[in-house]
Amino acid sequence: MTGFGDFIVELDRVGRCFGSVTALDGVSFAVPRGSVFGLLGPNGCGKTTLFRILTTLLCPTSGRARVASADVVLQRNRVLQSIGVVFQKPGLDGELTALENLICHGQIYGLRGPTLRARSNELLERFGVADRARHRVDTLSGGLQRRVELAKGLLHRPELLVLDEPSTGLDPAARSVLMRYLTELRDRDGVTSLLTTHLMDEADRCDRVAILERGSLVALDTPAALKSRIG
């Protein structure tokens, strides 16, 4: 593998077992900085397990994983400062407004006062939900809630945005908007996005795609190269 520093994520023979069940079996790959990277595969292939390892929610049972040059086990706090996370299930408090959700999240990362409010308003404006800032989240559509989730994940200016099947429950138009935002984040801010998906059209809009099957890496390339090889 290329030396540390060239990639935002590096996995070296990462394995994870749950009792006698092997969820990940020696997975190795690297995610280039400033890219949109997709983890593609059917349900049960190991995508979510890998997502949980990269976000420090699980420890690998073998191998090594690093995010922004920090070990996910030994340097957990450094990893958490480097990443923003969008979970598959909504992570917003429906009883709070969009702005209140961002304010509460920012305080966890030590943001306070005018700086936090300005950053929150900036992101709500950028993702087209500034006019809903004072609306309770449970009154927003699924697509608008996802925009608030993205804003929340970017509050502390992470290097890497990790998304676990972020388009779950969204219609095709909202999925397309989501992918456009990830591309804009890459081009405008240099933010790397790593998303898990089982949708081919979503993976097709990534710069590179890793395909998992039964816990193993079976292919890794650009979408165009993968399609030319395996159709």
Give, as one character, the DSSP assignment of residue 131.
G
End-to-end CA distance of the chain: 28
pLDDT for position 231: 64
CA triple 106-108-112, angle to 5 deg: 50
Task: Give dist(CA 52, CA 36) in Å, integer.
Answer: 19
8 Å CB contact between 25 and 19: no
pLDDT for position 158: 95
Confidence (pTM): 0.89
Strand, coil or helix: 199: coil
8 Å CB contact between 200 and 41: no
Q: Record the tokens describing residue 172, joined without a space.
A: 């095709």
pLDDT for position 125: 94
Task: Give dist(CA 159, CA 69) in Å, integer.
Answer: 11
Task: Give dist(CA 222, CA 50) in Å, integer.
Answer: 20
Which has the closest alpha carbon to 145: 124, 173, 172, 122?
A: 124
Q: What is the pLDDT along the chain (231 residues), one digit of tens a residue?
A: 334 448 999 999 999 999 999 999 999 999 999 999 999 999 899 999 999 999 999 999 999 999 999 999 999 999 999 999 998 887 899 999 999 999 999 999 999 999 999 999 999 999 999 999 999 999 999 889 999 999 999 999 999 999 998 888 788 888 888 899 999 999 999 999 999 998 888 999 999 999 999 999 999 999 999 988 876
**60 CB burial (10 A radius; 0-12, 13-18, 19+):** buried
Give, as one character, the DSSP assignment of residue 106.
H
Q: Record the tokens describing residue 195, joined without a space.
A: 């998303």
